[in-house]
């Protein structure tokens, strides 16, 4: 998983345009008569403009709109269970203490607030990196039980990504006779997650955290939409990763159920 994360970083901003500018700097020192040296300035300008555009609210909003168009339609059948996808964790490198990330906790809280309280709950997420102690599903289950007083019926604790979330969760739910689920994750992750869970044999009703209204945050209107910001760059990274991941998942076959 470390390798997959590294490869994803290589093709996304800000690394890709920064690497291009570094290459342009190296080419600058080639003999002035060489063709490579003549490419240095155009390459540097292209990479600078790419980084600028990727960091603007206009571009992040455009990417988000592409995701909105991929949002799945909800089936007519009533769900028989709630599935909450993990969204990461925080880990103190000194003490080793682990806790849910803001994204994971937001999904847990959203499920408690919006899902029918009588539906059984499945939490899904394992250890993505080797240094992690507890499966993410255990952290989510503890939050549900201790903070919200909600019991968890299933803990899927072996998956490391969305595809494995789907394969492992579908196997657990099929064993219990569940075919229709209410899927809880963030709206920008929902297209990839819902499509993958459907491929695993489940009928999915999306229960997305947030919505497309987040595409134009307050304070980013008018001229500010064309100026780069760290927040817009982060959104571009998230949306870009989801669009790439959606196409990658469509191209590859769904993995078999993963055992710890």
pLDDT digits (tens, 9 = 90+) for 213-246: 776 676 677 788 899 999 999 999 999 999 999 9
Instruction: Tell me the three-class secondary structure of the chain, residue by residue.
Output: CHHHHHHHHHCCCCHHHHHHHHHHHHHHCCCCCCHHHHHHHHHHHHHHHHHHHHCCHHHHHHHHHHHHCCCCCCCCCCCCEEEEECCCEEECCCCCCEEECHHHHHHHHHHHHHCCCCCCEEEECCCCCCCCCCCHHHHHHHHHHHHCCCCCCEEECCCCCHHHHHHHHHHHHHHCCCCEEEEEEECCCHHHHHHHHHHCCCEEEEEEECCHHHHCCCCCCHHHHHCCCHHHHHHHHHHHHHHHHHHHHHHCCCCCCCCC
Kindly tell me if the per-residue pLDDT of 29 is higher than 70.
yes
Question: Across residues 34-48, what is the average pLDDT?
Answer: 90
Position 168 confidence tier, pLDDT thresholds 50, 70, 90:
very high
CATH 3.40.50.300 assigned to 81-211: no
Where exactly are the structural domains of the chain? 2-68+221-243, 81-211
Give the model's confidence band at 205: pLDDT under 50 very low, under 70 low, under 90 confident, else very high.
very high
Quote the CA–CA distance of 160 and 122 in Å, as a whole number.
16
Supply 56's token pair: 């603007």
At 115, the pLDDT band (50, 70, 90 cuts) reads very high
Q: Who's near 146: CB < 8 A, 6+ residues apart?
A: none
- pLDDT tens-digit profile of 126-155? 998 878 889 999 999 999 999 999 999 999
pLDDT score, position 5: 66
């Amino acid at each position: 998983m470390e390798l997959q994360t590294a490869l994803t970083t290589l093709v996304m901003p800000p690394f890709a345009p920064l690497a291009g500018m570094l290459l342009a700097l190296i080419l600058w020192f080639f003999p002035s008569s060489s063709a490579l040296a003549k490419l240095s300035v155009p390459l540097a300008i292209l990479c600078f403009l790419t980084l600028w555009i990727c960091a603007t609210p206009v571009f992040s909003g455009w990417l988000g709109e592409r995701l909105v168009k991929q949002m799945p339609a909800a089936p007519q059948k009533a769900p028989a269970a709630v599935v909450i996808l993990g969204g990461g964790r925080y880990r103190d490198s000194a003490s080793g203490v682990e806790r849910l990330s803001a994204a994971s906790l937001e999904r847990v809280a959203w499920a408690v607030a919006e899902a029918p309280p009588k539906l059984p709950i499945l939490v899904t997420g394992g250890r993505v990196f080797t240094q992690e102690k507890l499966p993410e599903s255990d952290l989510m289950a503890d939050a549900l039980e201790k903070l919200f007083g909600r019991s968890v019926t299933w803990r899927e604790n072996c998956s490391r990504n969305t595809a494995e979330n789907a394969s492992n969760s579908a196997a657990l739910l099929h064993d219990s006779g569940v075919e229709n689920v209410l899927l809880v994750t963030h709206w920008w992750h929902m297209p990839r997650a819902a499509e993958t869970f459907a491929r695993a044999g489940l009928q999915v009703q999306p229960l997305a955290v947030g919505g497309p209204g987040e595409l134009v945050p307050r304070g980013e209107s008018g001229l500010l939409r064309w100026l780069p910001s760290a927040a817009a760059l982060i959104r571009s990274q998230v949306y870009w990763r989801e669009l790439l991941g959606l196409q990658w998942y469509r191209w590859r076959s769904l993995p078999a159920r993963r055992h710890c």
